[in-house]
Amino acid sequence: MRHWPLTALQLTTADLVLRLPSDDDLDALAQVAADGVVPDGAVYFPQPWASAPPAERAKNVVQNHWWARGDWTRENWRLLLAVFHDGQVIGQQNLSARDFAITGEARTGFWLGRRFQGHGYGTQMRAAALALAFDGLGAARVTSTAFADNAASRAVSRKFGYRPNGVHRISVDGHRYNAHEEVIEAADWQGCASVVPVGIAGLPDCIPLFR
């Protein structure tokens, strides 16, 4: 699409392709969410969309993608990429920032359908987002936040050498959770960049949207 160059942005890792979803892809992604993202009763997100009933979960995914595109400004953007394995959509990788041109700081979020978890894809997804942020956009630092008991998410950050950046107390549905923020700086990324090679295509025309 000539007037929304992000449609041509594509990140690739050994097993995955990350790109904006078409509406058909988005429908498939919503079904992956409906089929399950977190174990029953687990709360891993400040907005508890993943523990809503399946149909609501799916609708939330669709609307969130449309909202992120409609609401996009250079001062406040959220890139929501669908993740594909062998042509099948399996999850979502986010990269977002406020006033990125000034702060150089972005944050990531990610999720996979339950049946796609535990195969190393989360590690490749995070690497793709970090490569885009640091190598593609020149970020200075990237943060990630995970609830205390989210072992998989925190393990991914640990693998890339993130450092602790404080614990926030968050209320979700009347219960208190400790959210651990972790940060990785550009210099730390240089040491890991070769661990999970990432290809970036279609970025030059998108740069003015980010900074």
Helix (H, G, I), strand (E, B) or coil at 179: strand
Q: Count Cβ atoms below 10 Å from residue 176 Cβ, excluding itself.
A: 8
Contact status: 110 vs ligand COA (CB under 6 A): yes
Q: Toward ligand COA, which CB reaches closer, 13 or 150?
A: 150
Round the CA-based radius of gyration of the chain to a whole number and report it. Answer: 16
Min separation Cβ 45 and ligand COA, Å: 6
Contact status: 38 vs ligand COA (CB under 6 A): yes
d(CA 115, CA 186): 33
Q: Toward ligand COA, which CB reaches closer, 101 or 152?
A: 152
- Among residues 101, 123, 122, the alpha carbon closest in space to that of 112 is found at 122
Contact status: 156 vs ligand COA (CB under 6 A): yes
Chosen residue from 55, 101, 148, 155 binding ligand COA by CB under 6 A:
155
Contact status: 122 vs ligand COA (CB under 6 A): yes
Chosen residue from 84, 100, 121, 134 binding ligand COA by CB under 6 A:
121
Contact status: 115 vs ligand COA (CB under 6 A): no
Q: Toward ligand COA, which CB reaches closer, 10 or 117?
A: 117
d(CA 157, CA 149): 14
Is beta strand 163-172 parallel, antiparallel or unpaired with respect to 141-147?
Answer: unpaired
- Among residues 137, 141, 146, 25, the alpha carbon closest in space to that of 81 is found at 25
Amino acid at 122: G
Q: Toward ligand COA, which CB reaches closer, 48 or 120?
A: 120
- Among residues 138, 44, 143, the alpha carbon closest in space to that of 100 is found at 138
Min separation Cβ 207 and ligand COA, Å: 27
Site for ligand COA, rule CB under 6 A: 37-38, 44-45, 110-112, 117-123, 146, 150-153, 155-156, 159
